Structure 1
Amino acid sequence: MLPSPSVLAACAPPRPHVPLDRVSASSPSPTADATPHLLGGGPKHSGLDLYARYAFAGALCCSITHGALTPVDVVKTRIQLDPTVYNRGMVAAFRQVIAAEGASALLTGFGPTFAGYFIQGAFKFGGYELWKGQLINLVGADRAPEYRVPIYLTASALAEFVADIALCPLEATRIRMVSQPDFANGLVSGFTRLLKEEGVARGFYSGFGPILFKQVPYTMAKFAVYEMAAEKIYAGIKTPKEKLSTGTVTAVNLGAGLIAGIAAAIISQPADTLLSKINKAKGVEGESVTSRLVGLAKQLGPRGLFLGLGARIVMVGALTAGQFAINGDVKRALGAEGGHEIAKVK
């Protein structure tokens, strides 16, 4: 007598469970199944250890790129804050700053820039992978490719919100040092002076609204456009991603990152200008941040809100391309490749 189906089911070996952090689908598959699949064996680490590696890779890529582009950021900020003086373009502004203050002025704010974006990069890139994994789990791995764009946008927005809480005090210090070169001669002195004179709320977080207004749309565009651009590039390459050379993968990261950086720069430019303006000096006693923002926006107008866009496209395009290239290389070196890479399979 044959055993019943229920007995056979009970005796059958359990189906293998694939950890969520091993699910990925970055390169198109010839199958019609839209379920995410393993790519290159997935990450070599999991859990907290894996996300720590994501965070460290993000910290390095952001601090290195932002630190290296400090001179461009100084010039961009000067154009935004004093357009009547710096009104002949980015190259001329470089010459003006050097002629007036010396070449060392181009490194003003390097300390808070490096430190701030090291912290922010850890929360941004590590948090993005964390939230992306949670959202994939929420909608289901089989449906994730269908909802990949909302997943990218939501995960990046949540990660950036947390990252900005850490970044805001250091960004306020950087802008004050760039706009007032005699304010302080270093990160520690600038940070402590701002805290002592204006306190936590007015000194460090008066620009929190503008920084969210700037950074959240910027990061949403940055990650979503990067993911979609990389997906399109890989779709045009016949060789599966896991079989590509490391140089080719880095080149894809650079190209997709450049596209993402240009889009993100344009989207976030008005808020970047307002952030520079609101951190330039103290506000009027009793005036709310919202009223200051509205007043500044009216005063500047649409054209004024896009001051320094050319310099910022150069800066953001370069640093975003560099970030994704460095991030990918560091993750590979740390054995934390892949992650939650979801792409619509064709």
Structure 2
Amino acid sequence: MRKVEGRLCEEFSPAYYGLCTVGGMLSAGTTHLAITPLDVLKVNMQVNPIKYNKMASGFSILWKEQGPSSLWRGWSGKLFGYGVQGGCRFGLYEYFKKLYSDVLKDHNRSTIFFLSSASAQVFADVALCPFEAVKVRVQTQPYFAKGLVDGFPKLYATEGLAGFYKGLFPLWGRNLPFSMIMFTTFEHSVDLIYHKVMQRRKEDCSRAQQLGVTCLAAYAAGAVGTVISNPADNIVSSLYNKKADNVMQAVKNIGLVNLFTRSLPVRITLVGPVVTLQWFFYDTIKVLCGLPSSGGLTRRLEEANLSA
């Protein structure tokens, strides 16, 4: 593998995957922390849609009944839980994409993107699930706990280890389609912008231009992924708040149409900017370390394989 001057580490090396993991943790944890008030409203709209039926009135009700601090309930779960998930998602995605590109050389790029993102997300959600279980209860049950420190032992005492993973399958149902669509849409959007819009190679663009392309592709990826994953997101909130005992009961209680529409506006408002900022921070860390921005990795992999 050729050494490139000015790079902190070489692509596809252990240090590279470590850097991607740290970058994913920092970008995901901080962005999810920043939108905690929107997440609190989203979860309450899903659990109690009659009371919290609109964004503006929902914020007003939370503020009046539970005080301004209620908008930041579950912040520790957002910071640490989604930080761990983001580290696994981005770091393992890079690893699996290299692995599958080497093994599945005759398959098209979309297959590699789908498999890589799905494989990474499986592990990412196993890491996230305990944090999510506590976070949702903290946000919707004011007297359950104040945060992770007292929430973890209380949940374990009342429901045991199974309580932390009650929502794992719905979480996979929400995040696997989202991740697969998000990463694939991002990759293809990056190629489309460079080839059809800018009509320049990534290597010929400045760092600012590369990060601009990252932001455009990331917003498109987040919007598409949100619509796909919304039904499972509603099911997760229902299960964690004991509104239903299983997935089928949750679907029946919520209703087929509501599965797709309930809390969708607030999720689009929430997820679009979050995904954009995550990719922006993540790629900023990469380019500051002398590495290329994300997207179009298949060509670099081919070069690496040829020079190996």
CA distance in 2, matches of 1:71, 1:247: 31
Distance 1:167 1:131, change over 3 A: same
The match for 2:305 is none
How far apart, in 2, do the equivalents of 1:41 and 1:178 lie? 43
| Alpha-carbon RMSD | 2.3
Distance 2:153 2:213 in 1: 42
Amino acid at match of 2:87: A
- The answer to whether residue 180 in structure 2 is matched with residue 224 in structure 1 is no
More helix by percentage: 2
Q: Secondary structure at the match of 1:266?
A: helix
- 1:190 aligned to 151, 154, 164, which one? 151
Deviation at 1:92, TM superposition (A): 2.0
- Given that 1:172 and 1:279 are in contact with CA atoms closer than 8 Å, whether structure 2 keeps it comes out as yes
| Residue 46 to residue 269, structure 1, CA distance change in 2 (3 Å) | closer
Aligned to 1:317: 272
1:342 partner SS: helix
Distance 1:46 1:130 in 2: 7
Higher alpha-carbon deviation: 329-338 or 232-241: 329-338
- Whole-Å Cα distance in 2 between the matches of residues 282 and 271 of structure 1? 14
Task: Give me the TM-score of the superposition, normalised by structure 2.
Answer: 0.90
Q: Is the 8 A contact 2:12 2:95 kept in 1?
A: no
Matched, 1:81 2:47: yes
262 and 224 in structure 1: CA distance in 2 versus 1, 3 angstrom threshold:
same
Q: Deviations over 1:304-342 (max 9, x none)?
A: 213100000111111111111111001122344357712
Aligned residue for 1:206?
A: 166
Corresponding position of 1:241: 202
> For the Cα contact (< 8 Å) 1:42–1:338, is it kept in 2?
no
SS in structure 1 of the partner of residue 160 of structure 2: helix
Q: Would you say the 8 A contact 2:9–2:15 is kept in 1? A: no
Could you say which residue in structure 1 is the equivalent of 2:298?
A: 342
Q: Which amino acid aligns with 2:125?
A: D
2:254 alignment partner in structure 1: 300
Alignment correspondent of 1:215: 175
Cross-structure match for 1:109: 74
C-alpha distance 46-297 of structure 1, shift in aligned 2 (>3 A): closer
Aligned to 2:146, what secondary structure does the other structure show? coil
Equivalent position amino acid for 1:79 in 2: M
1:52 is aligned to 2:13: no
Letter in 1 for 2:284: D
Any unmatched runs of 5+ in structure 1? 1-17, 23-37
Give 1:317's aligned amino acid.
G
Listed one character per residue, the Cα deviations across residues 192-241 of structure 1 (whole Å, up to 9, x for unaligned) are 1111211111x100101100100111100110011111111111213321
Alpha-carbon deviations, 1:110-161, whole Å to 9, x = none? Answer: 0011100111111100000000000110123xx5xx6110100000000000
1:120 aligns with 2:85: yes
Residue 255 to residue 135, structure 1, CA distance change in 2 (3 Å): same
Residues 73 and 138 in structure 2, CA contact (< 8 A), matched pair in contact too: yes
Deviation at 1:297, TM superposition (A): 0.2
Structure 1 residues 90 and 333: alpha-carbon distance in aligned structure 2, compared to 1, 3 A threshold: same
Taking a change above 3 Å as real, the CA distance of residues 336 and 256 of structure 1, as seen in their structure-2 partners, is same
Q: What does residue 306 of structure 2 align with?
A: none
Deviation at 1:43, TM superposition (A): 6.0
C-alpha contact (below 8 Å) 1:225/1:260 kept by paired residues? yes
Quick check: 1:281 aligned with 2:228? no
| Number of residue pairs the alignment of both structures matches | 297
Measured in 2, the distance between the counterparts of 1:180 and 1:252 equals 41
CA distance, structure 1, for counterparts of residue 15 and residue 299 of structure 2: 25
Which has the greater radius of gyration? 1
CA distance, structure 1, for counterparts of residue 227 and residue 34 of structure 2: 21
TM-score, normalization by structure 1: 0.81
The partner residue of 2:62 within 91, 97, 109 is: 97
| Larger RCO, structures 1/2 (Cα 8 Å, 6+ apart) | 1
* Whole-angstrom CA distance in 2 between matches of 1:207 and 1:157: 18
Tell me, what secondary structure is at the counterpart of 2:251? helix
